[in-house]
Structure 1
Amino acid sequence: MVNIEDFIKRLEIILDYYSLSASSFADKIGVQRSSMSHLLSGRNKPSLDFILKIIEVFPDIDLYWVLNGKGSFPKNENDKVIPYPIPEEIEKPIVPIFPNESFIPKDLFLEIEKLDEKKIIEKNPVEIKNTIPNTSSDEIEKIVLFYKNGTFKVYTP
């Protein structure tokens, strides 16, 4: 966890090192001036986005130093981050081994597609019955057509 008081001290060291005011530093890294003010006063804690912007704009600031005071500021050329070694199990892709080389795994989704096709073919179209009364006194106000893709059109005579 980041100690906010120590973080503020490190932030002030950065401002002094680059001879920047809090507002010019905020402008340079692309954050609001008020958020910088709130950080320096201890009202707010730094967000990950704020830290990443600092590291992006000022590459000689060490991430671990700005977060918890470990490391050096500015970065030494000799300080190189050594990544943890990646275990061999992760590096090599896992290839399934089948006892019988002629065995081909079954496509599980093929059956679902065939079932869907059968349902579409077997489905009887709905019969549309004329339910509009055919009297001369009724006038059509509007006609609405609904399409299967969810759209519709309205016709007003």
Structure 2
Amino acid sequence: MGDKVVYVCVTGASGYIASWLVKLLLHRGYTVKATVRNLRDPSKVEHLKALEGADERLHLFEADLLKEGSFDSVIDGCDAVFHTASPVILDNVNDPQVELIEPAVKGTLNVLGSCRKAHSVKRVVLTSSMATVAFKKPTQTSNLLVDELPFLIQSLLKK
């Protein structure tokens, strides 16, 4: 990577995919600015602190997806942002649109707003939540192949 320190932000760093991403980035020599919902929850941060290279190149931050500006100071100075965070409720979802989709969209827009303010960001990678396919409708069967097409069609029909 050369002599220049490259800063990468990973939102939702305590999640499964994000944790592996943080591990890979540290292994490759990047300095990682990682966000979690609660810095005081050991189950969310201890596995990250234990990663090789964490003492030197991992910086943990608490950020709220739904609070505009919450990511400004974290993303400032970053060369790239991996947005993996998403508000996920696994039980008792009564209205997926209101409880899952709208907060996920608002959170993504907040992160992108912080990226826009930070003139250092050259790349943004967005990931999705397993919630997009995990909540089966009664008509779905276990052998049904799920891809992005139904979501794309639904989005296009709303326009």
Tell me, yes or no, whether TM beats 0.5: no
Q: Could you say which structure has the greater relative contact order, defined with CA pairs below 8 angstroms and 6 or more residues apart? A: 2
- Higher normalized strand content (fraction of residues): 2
Normalised to the residue count of structure 2, the TM-score between the two structures is 0.22
